[in-house]
Amino acid sequence: MARHKKTIKGAELFCRSLVKEGVTYLFGYTGGAIMPVYDAFPKFPQLKHIMVRHEQAAAFAAQGVARASGKPGVCIATSGPGATNLMTGIADAHLDSIPIVAITGQVATSVIGTDAFQESDIIGMLVPVTKQSYILDDPYEIPRVVKEAFYLANTGRKGPVIIDLPKDIANAVIPDDGFDATIRYPVLPPPGIGKDQVAHAQRLMASSERPIVFVGHGVIQSGAQGEVRRFLEKSNMPFSCTLHGISALPGDHPQYLGMMGMHGTVEANRAIENADLIIALGMRFDDRVTGKLDEYAKDADVIHVEHDPSEINKNVRATVPIYSDLKPAVVEMTKVVGHKPYKKWYAFAAENRRYWEGIDPVNQGNSRGDKQNPLMGTVIRKLSDLTDGRDNVVSDVGQHQMFAARYYQFNRFNTWFNSGGLGSMGFSVPAAMGVKYTRPKERVWVIVGDGSFQMNIQELGTIMEQNIDIKILLLNNNFLGMVRQWQDLFHGSRFIGTPVKNPDFIALASAYGISGERVTAEKSLEPALRRAMKHKGAYLVEIVTDMDEMIMPMIPAGSRFSDMRVTR
């Protein structure tokens, strides 16, 4: 009697392939086309599905996992509107180089192209914002595609990959032959730093009297923080961080000048304006960093270390372009760099720091509203002090984001998470869920404005259902604060579309079983934060802040560093 071969469904093979890639958490929302995969989940208890309340939140939560762990996060949705709702989170991951794998259901292969119910060409839509995209038309290809997707997402310049799974492929039954998966297109490593480049860099570093080192997101993603710190401390050069480079090195480091760019510190921006050498490590010279390009650091040579060659010379011309992984390049540069005191250079930075602190130590001078309400800068500084700068902080997008970047002193590696390149409102709450699942024993704060909070406020339902212990610090100024600031400065104070009529956030959180309290005076701030820190479970602290406050300094968009405004 012939033996029957063991069989497996495509959906089960897909889940088994995810397990082999080490996936634990999937954030998603079910539907018709993806239902076969959901039906297979009970057979794979290693996979823990977190049902969000909106697919966009699934993509942001997957980012939270990726940003906190360094491994690809996973989001999953059905076809049509489920897939398109993932798009913002995928585009956000693309611009910030975050490794995620997005899984979408698709209509059966026999009706693709017929405008079938809930059909969308999600692959075509996402081509510009994904590293790679796959639509499966053969169940035997599932193991290879899954393996390759995770490999590509987290290799080289990290980023999102999408797998589109038609329903008939998920339902297909095939012999279970083990399926050893191999990657078809391995990514070649960068060539690395060459002897001529080392020698040229050495000459520039030796002759420089006013150098500054830029610490970008690549330092965190490559795990090169130790190598970069040794380079900095051997050379004694001052350094500044990009928005995403924050928390790569301790915020209390004596050589740190603070964040650079549009809302960077006075001392960092004026150092950049007067530098004779810029050493850029793992950053891409975004427009919020450079301002007006033809006026940017025009007297400085540039050493640019980057593992994506498309970013070298794209915006800022490099004197020494180094297409290399960060660690080996920094190691070689450390071998040849000398130590200098840079007394005049540090005195220049200290003078600018004192100048700013004399005007505005925590932004008090940039408000003209009701001083009885706390200021955002004061709130963030108090949180930083109470947590010793060691908690995980997930911000949303807007004024509160810049206040958090400026006034929270990050003293622990990779504890700052936010949407940078795309600037997606609604990022913080779902991303914080992903961070908390990745770091369950650590405290995770959401810092969010009233506008951003309402973008994905439905995820309070996910927090309730899953009992996710995150602390939400809601800075409520009853405005879309950053847009209001621009309207105030550049549009004649015509506040169109920015005043926000808000609900009772504390009552709303209570409806989801989440405790919280409202703070309207500075004297109540510290006790409220301490209660949130001690509370077991999610907690909302709503701070009613001064609606007129601005985040300063500010370099107006497209302007020169010399145009930096330090007061309103």
Active site residues per annotation? 55, 117-118, 167, 482
Instruction: Report CA 175 to chain centroid distance, whole Å.
Output: 42
Tokens of 305: 């270390």
d(CA 178, CA 246): 44
Q: What whole-number distance in Å separates Cα of residue 61 and Cα of residue 42?
A: 22
- Which amino acid, 502? N
3-state DSSP call for residue 233? helix
Residue 300's Cβ-side half-sphere holds a number of Cα atoms within 13 Å equal to 28
CA-based radius of gyration for the chain: 25
For 357, the token pair is: 């602190």
Q: How many CB atoms lie within 10 A of CB 10?
A: 26
DSSP SS3 for 99: coil
The CA-based angle 543-472-484, given to 5 degrees, is 50
Alpha-carbon distance of 431 to 434, in angstroms, equals 5
Helix H or strand E segment including 239: strand 239-241
Q: Which residues neighbour 170 within 8 Å (Cβ) at sequence distance 6 or greater?
A: 9, 10, 11, 14, 34, 36, 37, 105
Q: Say what angle helices 376-387 and 399-407 make with each other, to 10 degrees.
A: 40
How far is 392 from 445, CA to CA, in rounded Å? 6
Distance set, CA 178 to CA 17, 128, 173, 514 (Å): 11, 34, 14, 46
Task: Give CA–CA dist 107/126, Å, rounded.
Answer: 17
- Report how far residue 120's alpha carbon sits from residue 353's, in angstroms, rounded to the nearest whole number: 54
